[in-house]
Amino acid sequence: MKNNKGFSLVELIVVIAIMAILAAVAIPTFATFITRANEASDKQFVADLTYAIELSNASLGKKEVSAPTITTDGNGVIQTVTYTLTDMNGTTTTSVTITVNDATDTATVTDPTGDANKEIIAAANDAISTMDWSYHFKSNAWADGDGTNS
C-alpha cells in the first residue's frame, strides 16, 4: 500500500472552483459597500458645512440659509461653495461664495452681489474656519457631470 501525501488534482480543482465562486459573489458586494460609504462621507461633509453656515449665521436672526451649492473639478476637489441668505419675509437675498484654494486647502469668502454687509462676511468666515477644506468628494452624488451637486 502506498503512502500518498498531498492532495489530488481533482481536490485542488474543487477548492479553486469554490474560491472562485465565493470571490465572484463577494467582490460586487464589497464594491457596493465602498460606494455607499463614499456617498455617506460626502453627504456628511455637506451636512457639516450646512450646519457650520447655519450656526455662524444664527446671530443674524433675520436670515434663512439655503442649502449650499458645491462646485468641484473633475477629481472631486472643491472649487466653490455658494449659498444664499434670505430675509424671513423673503424680499432680500444675499449670495455668498466660498472659494477654495486647493493648493493650500484654505478658503476665502467673496460676495458676488456686492453686499458690503460685514456681519454676513464675518459669519461666513466663522463658518469656513471650522471646515477641513482638503476634503475631496469621493462619489458622484455631489460631483456629477457638470461638477455641481444636484
DSSP string, 56-86: HHGGG-SEEEPPPEEEE-TTSBEEEEEEEEE
Predicted pLDDT at 38: 87
Radius of gyration, CA atoms only, the chain: 25
CB 95 within 8 A of CB 82: yes
Q: Is 102 helix (H, G, I), strand (E, B) or coil?
A: coil
Averages of pLDDT over runs of 10 residues in the chain (150 residues) are 79 95 90 88 87 79 79 84 80 78 80 64 81 82 50
| Residue spans per domain, the chain | 43-129
User: At residue 145, what are phi and psi to the nearest 5 degrees?
Assistant: -50, -35
Predicted pLDDT at 114: 59
Helices (H), 1-150: 9-57, 118-129
Predicted pLDDT at 149: 53
**111 grid coordinates:** 460676495
d(CA 98, CA 53) in angstroms, rounded, equals 11
Predicted pLDDT at 141: 64
Residue 32 neighbours by CB distance under 10 Å: 10
d(CA 51, CA 30) in angstroms, rounded, equals 31
d(CA 74, CA 96) in angstroms, rounded, equals 23
CB 66 within 8 A of CB 82: no
pTM of the model: 0.69
